[in-house]
Structure 1
Amino acid sequence: MTQHAPLIIDIAGLSLTKADRRRLKHPLTGGIILFGRNWKDRQQLTDLCADIKRIRHDLLICVDHEGGRVQRFKTDGFTHLPPMRALGALWMKDQLGATNAATACGYVLGAELRACGVDFSFTPVLDLDFEVGAPTQAQALAAPRGGAVSLGRPGASRSSVIGDRAFGRDPRVVSLLAKSLMHGLLQSGMANCGKHFPGHGFVKADSHTDIPVDKRSLKAILADDAAPYEWLNTTLSSVMPAHVIYPKVDARPAGFSSKWLNFILRSQLGFGGAIFSDDLSMAGARLIDGQEVSYAQAAVAALNAGCDMVLLCNQSVGDGQPVDELLDGMAEALLKGQWEAMESGELRRLALLPQSKACGWDELMVQPAYMHALGLIP
């Protein structure tokens, strides 16, 4: 059995350095996440991905590529995908058309990435868009034509870090559009990742720079924000929890909480896929139980809470010492029995690798399914 390789790391530049190669060969490294700084053009990206796979064919090459403002590759032929809120707006006018558009977005997203050698994108966002004064889609559709529409929850504030990345406010609409988008990803041969469990849309603070706190009850969260995770439990390949504290459930952020990940997500909501931590370098991951933690300590806490994989992003820039410290710290913690290499976690990681061969870019450009999908994207 292959040793559990839970760490997803990044690289600083357009090609692999000697240090990058050493880190990617480490038995605890399971994948790499790419950013805009790793992009010059399609040929460079394709060469980079091929080089990564030559080091280890089982490394999972990931990217945050949702559409809208979170899309790492936007030039040299890559389709500019709309923010997910645009699909929610289309739903208000044409429900079936919106589901077809969502499927088309998923297919184009996955097919273009795979044509360049990328295996996986952290999408779709399942967070709800809590905008002050905005009706839910259900409220809007139920209102008589020309009549008044009751407003959304009083006092709710939209998360600036989520905003138009969300499909909308209504968890039923979010689930239907997300399932359609995931169907398109599946058609392209790519797995999916629902984020940020149980929901990041209600809090205003950005977990990149702060530690958001959501004081609602578990009952309220399960009935609203977390509902898509139960409805999509047969469709989701993976889930990424939020670096948000929900104090009425647990004093720890969700990504470090066994109660959230094992008891609620897996046992109560029926999710059986892989769980990624969010970026361990974010402010929301640097304090656990009121104590400042190292990256290795955060990684161990996440794995022990139920994560299968942990991400450390943007720490390879410069000498990359934080990445080396994390690798060394996790290896030492494993030897000391502070976390356990789980066969189940490794199998869930491997299941995210594409199972079909991707077609090249030129072949994709004339593929009828791809050309049809392009015409459906709003």
Structure 2
Amino acid sequence: MTQPLGPVMLDLEGPKLTAAEKRLLLEPTVGGVILFARNVENGYQVRQLCSDIRRVRADLLLAVDQEGGRVQRIKEGLTRLPAMARIGECYRTTPEEGLLLAKDAGWLLGMEMAACGLDLSFAPVLDVESGLSSVIGDRSFSSDPQHVVQLGSAFIQGLHDAGMAAVGKHFPGHGGVAADSHVALPVDDRPLEVIKQHDLVPFTQLASQLDGVMPAHVIYSAFDTRPAGFSPTWLGMLRESLGFKGCVFSDDLSMAGAHEAGDPKARAQAALAAGCDMLLVCNDRAAALDVMDACQGINTKRPAKLRYSRARPDLDALSALGRWRRTHAKLEALADKPQTSAETE
């Protein structure tokens, strides 16, 4: 039977657990850990770190942002993943090959993350590129919503082939605003019908395939005055209209785009009230402690269902798999490929 987890996902200071962190992870409000580049030396060290975390709390959900391109925390000893726009370019020229590569990329990512001891990567990015957002850009598969749907679906299938959950972000779409929600609160003033027919399309069509969703710290003023991650209206649509039944992760509550909701405790309460299951609080330990205090007595089973439940592959044995060798070579070649003019327009 799946046991409940606390709703708070924390970060760590460095590549090894400190004594203070070991004590912190034992707090019942903590349900997971997210790794950043500062926690990473190579794949083997990450595997050891994950093992050390599990010795403290075996039930914690361990996550990372490993999308490819510029968002890739674990580099040494693993495949250099291209930005997803490179796969989108393959799809535009040869759809069948592009879909196969997207599926294989999801599988390889899932296998490598599992071998490192992690439960999930926050992927795929389902934002539709519009040429406006510097924070999304080539993280998106495409500027065509249907291309994002097709490639996103294939990527999700690959993750599932590897036994790993798929977490789509950033609902209902971060690609239509120029501001970066890490440092500002973006406002998307487009009519709701425009968003529904463009940015929301991948989430609408893929909701049933996703195990998790991360909403954007963006206000869509035609629908709600609150950022999507603090909006019962948006998350209600996700659950009711789109039929999503998985786990909703808040984006980092320390980001500037989250400050609209108030102090750390107020942000936590607003995110939970809106329908988030797990709250990320990163790069601000004082805020994390405040959020933990606000979450006393709260837990949920949804995040626990995303734990990696298969026998983990051996990091050293992956190269013996023909699928890994073929996919590794293709992805590394794409990672070296210059950006095409079509992708910069």
Normalised by the size of structure 2, how large is the TM-score?
0.93
Match of 1:239, SS? strand
Structure 2 counterpart of 1:128, one-letter code: V
Conservation of the 8 A alpha-carbon contact between 1:229 and 1:271: no
* CA distance 1:237–1:46, change in 2 (3 Å): same
1:150 is matched with none
Q: Partners in 2 of 1:373 and 1:161 — Cα distance?
A: 27
Choose the corresponding residue for 1:271, options 244, 255, 273.
244
What whole-Å deviation, never above 9, does each CA across 1:20-44 have from its counterpart, x for those lacking one?
A: 1111111111100000000112332
CA contact (8 A) 1:23 1:324 kept: no
Tell me whether 1:212 sits opposite 2:186 in the alignment.
Answer: yes
Amino acid at match of 2:322: P
Uncovered stretches (5+) of structure 2, i.e. residues with no partner? 335-345
Query: 1:330-356 CA distances to partner (integer Å, 9 max, x unpaired)?
Result: 32xx5xxxxxx36xxx22111111121
Which of 249, 253, 260 aligns to 2:234? It is 260
The 3-state SS of whatever aligns with 1:159 is coil
Matches within 5 A, 1:313-324: 313-315=282-284, 320-324=285-289
Look up the match of 1:82. Answer: 82
2:327 aligned with 1:373: yes
- What does residue 138 of structure 1 align with? none
Pairwise mapping of residues 1-378 of structure 1 onto structure 2 (< 5 A)?
2-75=3-76, 77-131=77-131, 158-262=132-236, 264-288=237-261, 293-315=262-284, 320-331=285-296, 334=297, 341=298, 346-377=300-331, 378=334
User: Is residue 8–residue 291 contact of structure 2 (8 Å, CA) maintained in 1?
Assistant: no
Q: Separation in 2 of the partners of 1:54 and 1:99? A: 39
CA deviations over 1:47-82 (Å, ceiling 9, x no partner): 11001111121111100000000000111x211111
| 2:189 alignment partner AA | K
Taking the aligned partners of 1:62 and 1:112, their CA distance within structure 2 comes to 13
Contact 1:104/1:376, CA 8 A, preserved across alignment: no
* Aligned partner letter, 1:353: R
* Partner deviation per Cα, 1:279-310 (whole Å, 9 max, x = no partner): 0000110112xxxx221210111011000111
Residues 116 and 254 (structure 1 numbering): CA distance in 2 closer, same or farther, change over 3 Å? same
Q: What residue identity is the alignment partner of 1:195?
A: K
Q: Which moved more, 1:213-222 or 1:196-205?
A: 213-222
Name the SS for the 1:5 alignment partner.
coil
**Residues 49 and 259 of structure 1: is their aligned pair in 2 closer, same or farther, counting only changes over 3 Å?**
same
SS of corresponding position for 1:220: helix
Alpha-carbon distance in 2 for matches of 1:364, 1:187: 15
| Secondary structure of the structure 1 residue equivalent to 2:34 | strand
In 2, distance between residues paired with 1:170 and 1:26?
Answer: 44
| Aligned-partner Cα distance in 1 for 2:244–2:288 | 30
Q: Which amino acid aligns with 1:60?
A: L
SS of alignment partner, residue 196 of structure 1: strand
CA shift, 1:225, in A, is: 0.5
**Deviation string, structure 1 residues 123-166 (Cα, Å, up to 9, x no partner):** 011111102xxxxxxxxxxxxxxxxxxxxxxxxxx200000000
Structure 1 residue 374, shift from structure 2 partner: 2.2
What is the CA RMSD across the aligned residues, in angstroms? Answer: 1.4
State the shift of 1:232 in Å: 0.7
Q: How many residues align?
A: 331
Contact 1:9 1:313 in 2 (8 A): yes
Whole-angstrom distance in 2 between the partners of 1:69 and 1:54: 31
Q: Give the C-alpha shift of residue 366 in structure 1.
A: 0.8
The alignment partner of 1:112 has SS state of: helix
Return the offset for 1:3: 4.7
Structure 2 distance, partners of 1:355, 1:327, is 27
- The normalised TM-score by structure 1 is 0.85
Structure 1: unaligned runs, 5 residues or longer: 132-157, 335-340
For 2:5 and 2:62, locate their aligned partners in 1 and report how far apart those are by CA, in whole Å: 17
Q: Which residue of 2 aligns with 1:141?
A: none
Secondary structure at 1:324 match in 2? helix
SS at match of 1:347: coil
SS of the aligned residue for 2:126 comes to: coil
Please give the alpha-carbon distance, in whole angstroms, between the structure 2 residues aligned to 1:268 and 1:211.
26
1:151 corresponding residue in structure 2: none
